[in-house]
Amino acid sequence: MTAHGVPERIGQIRLRKVYDSRGNPTVEATVLSDVDRAAMASCPSGASTGSHEVVSFPDGSVDRGIEFAMTRVVPHLLGRPLGEQKPFDAELKERDGTGNFASLGGNIASALSIAYARASAAAEGRELFDYVARLRGRPPGRFPAIVGNVMNGGVHAVGGPSIQEFIAFVEAPGFRTQVEAAVQVHREVGRRLRERFPSAALGRGDEGGWVAPADDEQALDILAQSCQAVQASGRFPGAAIRPGLDFAASELYRDGRYHYRGRSLTPEEQVAFVQDLVERFDLAYAEDPFDEEGFSEFSALTGRILTGRKVHVVGDDLYTTSPGRVRRGMDGKATNSVLLKVNQVGTLSDTLETVALADQAGWSTITSHRSGETTDTWLSHLSVGFGSAGIKCGVLGGERIAKLNELLRIAGDASS
Ligand code: 2PG
Ligand code: MG
């Protein structure tokens, strides 16, 4: 509101080409209100993208997307009141006109949608997490667990395991304890890798996790032992630290088989393999263990492992945050959890529709970064506003730890 009780309006919109953590061009949007309050948001981008995601940039060109936005979209946004998220997002879709943001670019739509949300929250004197929680219609949830990637493989690393992400799933009373425990698992994994591969050059992958010449089971073994060791150290009272995986299995699936280094599995064998890993390593988290069209394999796995076991079976490429695909998953009880990435659908409102479906089904949500990130921290606010069970944002690397530091701030954690 302005001082006169009139809603603030959009005065100006700027779009700038900036670069993500991989050095790829992306976009930063600035929404200036008519009282000159500025709100910005930049958009990350993925490498293991699902084929049902909206188009990131028209013909892959950030410049073309910005030009389309400035000439065909922004003129219709100027003067709109702040605080009306749904109509704003609907206008983005209408002006794009393609149904999958092929003209505007889903990354530009996402940056605009979130910058508008930030401007609206600021105009109402609220934090972004609180604004998002109101859109969801529930008070901000408890703080999310850290779904922290500590070893990288697949398309996020060169020379690592076939599985894309080896994850520490960390729950503890107090967000600071979670951060410290997640960092400790990252360190412990590094220590064990140096011990196990003394003459190998260890590096870090796209999401800040270690990269080592380990095969999948060796890597999982080291992860599980590291989680146990940190848990058993007694340094993090009340913490539950368990291993998890993002298989990103669409990247492994070709010609009807899942291809790992040195062997390949049929879809039935893959179900048995994943079930075995979940049970043997007590996984807390299993994301995309099957191809993005493998709804029936997802249902088979979920049916088999969920009895009496606390594990998030998560759809990422499977759902691409899209309400239609999540509905299909719900019909077949394909998973019990949905990954949320705003730029897979292009707007905050569409993401909130998916959150509402998950809420209805009693499924958890996990709010997620992309492998190419910026140092922006809106993700942290969304994870709280969405009431997500976890925030998947990596652990180390400036663009990853920025999200965790923002959550400490949101938590109002004042300890030294
Ligand atoms: C994933 C993500 C993030 P990308 O598969 O879950 O970890 O990777 O952004 O490359 O799709
Ligand atoms: Mg994934």
The per-residue pLDDT for range 192-209, each reduced to its tens digit, is 999 999 999 999 999 999
- Looking up tokens 């749904």 gives 86
pLDDT of residue 147: 98
CA of 415 to the centre of ligand 2 (A): 34
- pLDDT of residue 316 exceeding 70: yes
More confident residue, 140 or 93: 93
Averaged pLDDT of the chain: 96
Given the residues 207, 251, 297, 373, select the one marked as catalytic. Answer: 207
Q: Are 328 and 246 found together in one domain? A: yes
Over 50: is that where the pLDDT of 220 sits?
A: yes
> 351 versus 140: which is more confidently predicted?
351
Residue 94 has pLDDT above 70, yes or no: yes
What is the pLDDT, as a whole number, of residue 48?
Answer: 83
SS (H, E, C) the chain: CCCCCCCCEEEEEEEEEEECCCCCEEEEEEEEECCCCEEEEECCECCCCCCCCCCCCHHHCHHHHHHHHHHHHHHHHCCCECCCHHHHHHHHHHHHCCCCCCCCCHHHHHHHHHHHHHHHHHHCCCCHHHHHHHHHCCCCCCCCEEEEEEEECHHHCCCCCCCCEEEEEEECCCHHHHHHHHHHHHHHHHHHHHHHCCCCCCEECCCCCEECCCCHHHHHHHHHHHHHHHHHCCCCCCCEEEEEEECCHHHCEECCEEEECCEEECHHHHHHHHHHHHHHHCCCEEECCCCCCCHHHHHHHHHHHCCCCCCEEEECCCCCCCHHHHHHHHHCCCCCEEEECHHHHCCHHHHHHHHHHHHHHCCEEEEECCCECCCCCHHHHHHHHCCCCEEECCCCCHHHHHHHHHHHHHCCCCCC
Whichever domain contains 101, its CATH number is 3.30.390.10
Is 48 a pocket residue for ligand 1 (Cβ < 6 Å)? yes
Determine the average pLDDT of the residues in 54-80: 98
Q: Is 171 close to ligand 1, i.e. is its CB under 6 Å away?
A: no
Distance CA 238, CA 260 (A): 37
Span 27-49, average pLDDT: 95
Whole-angstrom Cα distance, residue 107 to residue 91? 16
Looking up residue 158, the CATH number of its domain turns out to be 3.20.20.120
- Domain shared by 175 and 105, yes or no: no
Structure tokens at 355: 């959150």
Q: ∠ CA(35), CA(41), CA(46), 5° rounding?
A: 165
Residue 117 CA, ligand 1 centroid: distance in Å? 24
Q: Which residue CA neighbors atom 2 of ligand 1 most closely?
A: 370
Q: What is the mean pLDDT of residues 38-65?
A: 96
Residue at 3 is within a domain: no
Atom in ligand 1 nearest the alpha carbon of residue 206? 10
Tell me if 4 is assigned to some domain. Answer: no
Q: Which ligand 1 atom minimizes the distance to the CA of 394?
A: 7
Report how far residue 72's alpha carbon sits from residue 103's, in angstroms, rounded to the nearest whole number. Answer: 10
Check residue 3 and give its pLDDT. 60
Distance 298 CA to ligand 2 centre (A): 14
Give the Å distance between the CA of 365 and the centre of ligand 2: 13
pLDDT, one tens digit per residue, over 377-394 is 999 999 999 999 999 999
Among the bound ligands, name the one nearest to the CA of residue 47: 1
310 is catalytic: no
pLDDT at 414 (0 to 100) = 53
Does residue 207 have an active-site annotation?
Answer: yes
pLDDT score recorded for residue 1 = 67
Contact 113, 89 (CB under 8 A): yes
pLDDT of residue 244: 98
- Dig out the tokens for 401 from the structure: 């730890």
Residue to substitute in 312, 368, 379, 391 for testing ligand 1 pocket (most ligand atoms within 8 angstroms of CB): 368
Instruction: Name the residues around ion ligand 2, CB cutoff 5 A.
Output: 246, 316
How many angstroms is it from 186 CA to the middle of ligand 2?
19
Check whether residue 165 and residue 303 sit in a common domain: yes
Q: Is the CB of 153 under 6 A from ligand 1?
A: no
130 domain residue, yes or no: no
Exposure b/e, 258-294, CB count within 10 A at least 16 = b: bebeeeebebeebbebbbebbeebebbbbbbbbbbeb
pLDDT at 413: 64
- Which pLDDT belongs to residue 261? 87
- Is the per-residue pLDDT at 218 higher than 50? yes
Tell me the C-alpha distance between 207 and 168, whole Å.
13
Rounded to the nearest angstrom, the distance between the alpha carbon of 288 and the centre of ligand 2 is: 6
Nearest ligand by distance to the CA of 314:
2
Closest CA to 43 of 324, 322, 347: 347
Candidate from 316, 344, 369 with most ligand 1 atoms within 8 A of CB, to mutate:
316
69 in the same domain as 217: no
2 part of a folded domain: no
Backbone angles phi, psi at 289, to 5 degrees: -75, -5
CB of 371 closer than 6 angstroms to any ligand 1 atom: yes
Q: Are 154 and 119 part of one and the same domain?
A: no
| Amino acid type, 47 | A
From the alpha carbon of 339, which atom of ligand 1 is closest? 6
Q: What tens digit of pLDDT does each residue of 341-356 get?
A: 999 999 999 999 999 9
Annotated catalytic residue within 341, 392, 399, 406: 341
Domain that holds residue 59: 10-125
Residue 244, ligand 1, Cβ within 6 A: no
Q: Which of 91, 125, 159 is the last residue of a domain?
A: 125
Pick from 155-159, 321-325, 342-346, 394-398: least confident: 155-159
Residue 274 maps to a domain: yes
415: pLDDT strictly greater than 60: no
Residue 265 pLDDT > 60: yes
Residue 142 pLDDT greater than 90, yes or no: no
Ligand nearest to the CA of 392: 1
**Does the CB atom of residue 292 touch ligand 1 within 6 A?**
no
- Residue-wise pLDDT for 100-130, tens only, equals 999 999 999 999 999 999 999 999 999 999 9
Q: Please indicate, yes or no, whether residues 154 and 107 belong to a single structural domain of this protein.
A: no
Per-residue confidence (pLDDT) for residue 71, from 0 to 100: 98
pLDDT of residue 416: 38
Q: Is 38 in the pocket of ligand 1 (CB under 6 A)?
A: no
User: What value does the mean pLDDT take over residues 75-79?
Assistant: 98
Q: What percent of the chain has pLDDT over 70?
A: 98
Task: From 83, 101, 125, give the residue that closes a domain.
Answer: 125
Asked whether 368 lines ligand 1 (CB < 6 A), one says yes
Residue 115 sits in the same domain as residue 155: no
The total number of structural domains in the chain stands at: 2
User: CB-based contacts of 321: which residues, under 8 Å, 6+ apart?
Assistant: 338, 339, 340, 341, 342, 344, 345, 350, 351, 354
Indicate the residue among 68, 96, 125 that finishes a domain: 125
Residues 156-180 pLDDT 10s? 888 899 999 999 999 999 999 999 9
Residue 400 has pLDDT above 70, yes or no: yes
Distance CA 335, CA 288 (A): 10
> Phi first, then psi: what are they for 33, rounded to 5°?
-80, 170
Is the pLDDT at 6 greater than 90? The verdict is: no
56 lines ligand 1 (CB under 6 A): no
For residue 416, is it within any domain? no
